Amino acid sequence: MELLEKLCKAGGVSGFEEEVRDILIEEFKKAKCEVSVDKIGNVIAKKGRGKRRIMLAAHMDEVGLLVKHINKEGYVSFVKIGGIDDRVIVNQVVKIRSKYHLKGIVTGVVGMKPPHLQKKKDEKEPLKYEDMFIDIGAKNKKEAEKLVSIGDPITFMPSFEVMNKDMVCGKALDNRLGCYALIKIMQNLPKLDAEVYAVGTTQEEVGLKGARVAAYSINPDYSIAIDITMAGDTPHIKETESNLKLGKGPSITILEASGRGVVTHPEVKEVLVRTATKNNIPYQMDVLEGGMTDAAIIYMSREGIPSGVVSIPMRYTHGPVGVFHRRDLENAIKLVSKTIKSLC
């Protein structure tokens, strides 16, 4: 799991994916792929020759924060990048990627008014990120500006731990799991009568932007997005909201965001299900009321691209840390790899 740990601990807030991109470039080159980077920052790895084009996509970016203001006391105000629940931000240790700091990374703590000093009306009001700040240990604005600047990206504390056997937790599993899968698929891809493109996309968390650009330029015959999805096997989640369970296999998406996202092409869905059944790969079916993947924009590119989604169930999405089951990741890689052969 060393490669996955490296991916998870890298910083890659939307629009600032350089660390993740460098890892993908290195690994794709080791896998003997043709590698390029387009103008928006997507990494595109290519293998094979043939008339048919198959595109795999996994986004490199993660949700995070961005420096907005530094006050006279040296505290940092921030904005959110991507969909983050304000309640999970407070009291977190964060890392500010600063081009001015010698080490390139400044540690901070997200603070707020302590509960001991709050009034009753404060306790009743919902916690908002605008009421928080980041303490970087500076004594004033002048000292703080020597460490960070407006526009610096901020990630949650890098982490990656094996919890119990095959259960693993870490930062930015959304979607470094997909990035890891891309690398492994391209490493083991056999010689096929087709062109296979593995794309590490940018800015998925803020509008699926990189996937739009890549799909237009590649113009594939089929596409599969590899991402994470919401597991439902924790307290307070009803089975009608999500019945996905960790360790029961990757999910095959039928529909995203109640139809506002991808509606998986019947042919792609049939091939994925048939491939899983034929090869005894456990899988789960996923219908999402909220959330979208890169497939939501890929399948509308040009004259339309038949698309599907294979996801790894994960707990605690869009927060400082997530939890997944290692076998779900392994089976997602196996399912996509064998589906590629069926689409050629």
**Alpha carbons 211 and 261: distance in angstroms, whole number:** 13
Task: Using the CB atoms, write b or e for 269-297: b if 16+ within 10 Å.
Answer: bebbbebbeeeebebbebebeebbbbbbb
**List 204, 239, 303, 330, catalytic entry:** 204
Residue 315's H or E segment, with its range, is none
**Alpha carbons 19 and 276: distance in angstroms, whole number:** 34
Residue 227's H or E segment, with its range, is strand 222-230
Residue 228's H or E segment, with its range, is strand 222-230
**Catalytic site includes residue 204:** yes
**Alpha carbons 332 and 221: distance in angstroms, whole number:** 21
3-state secondary structure of 160: strand
> Which residues are designated catalytic?
204
